[in-house]
Amino acid sequence: MFYKDERLALFIDGSNLYAAAKSLGFDIDYKLLRQEFMRRGKLLRAFYYTALLENDEYSPIRPLVDWLHYNGFTMVTKPAKEYTDSQGRRKVKGNMDIELAVDAMELAPRVDHIVLFSGDGDFRPLVESLQRQGVRVSVVSTIRSQPPMISDDLRRQADNFIELDDLKEVIGRPPREHQNDKDSAFAASH
């Protein structure tokens, strides 16, 4: 439920939203996403959180980051950490939960409604705190993937759950084919 006069802010957990949309078989058109929520209320800010591999000459997510930055999104990035796991596989770690939580808490007194694009159950205490401050919180993720991409605790805590699959016609586009497996693996970790 949205009200035309309410002040909205979007908080997008980039890797989580990417994974949820991929599991449903579509890509997010961020221009359409922004337009959809501008239509639903007074959009004050749209934050996008992602970690970036600094040492790669070309990162598959770099064009998206640049586009979002030039098209009205507040970009919050940090260098991803690379490590080798116990099986000798190269892994990338780039958790942005704390940055997102701090920004949401700081913005809470200036908004009426926060839309969180993530299914990560670690955000449940954040949602609870925002609600105690009088902010309504909608969570966008999916229960239609196998397994579901949203934590049950987060879904129960939110004022409103928006099924990402229901937004497909409004904010989706067919998925692009990745150039190679390295791009797919990197993008999936983001």
Q: What is the CATH number of the domain that holds 66?
A: 3.40.50.1010
Q: Which two tokens stand for residue 161?
A: 């759950």
72 is in which domain, residue-wise? 7-81+90-171
In a domain, 75, yes or no: yes
Residue with tokens 């749209």: 46
The string of pLDDT tens digits covering residues 112-139 is 999 999 999 999 999 999 999 999 999 9
* Domains contained in the chain, number: 1
Q: Which two tokens stand for residue 37?
A: 């929520």
Q: How far is CA 96 from the centre of its chain?
A: 10
Total-model pTM:
0.87
**Alpha carbons 11 and 108: distance in angstroms, whole number:** 12
What confidence category does residue 30 fall into, taking pLDDT thresholds of 50, 70 and 90?
very high
pLDDT of 67 strictly over 60:
yes
In a domain, 178, yes or no: no
pLDDT value at position 63?
Answer: 87
pLDDT of 185 strictly over 50:
no
DSSP letter, residue 72: T
In a domain, 150, yes or no: yes
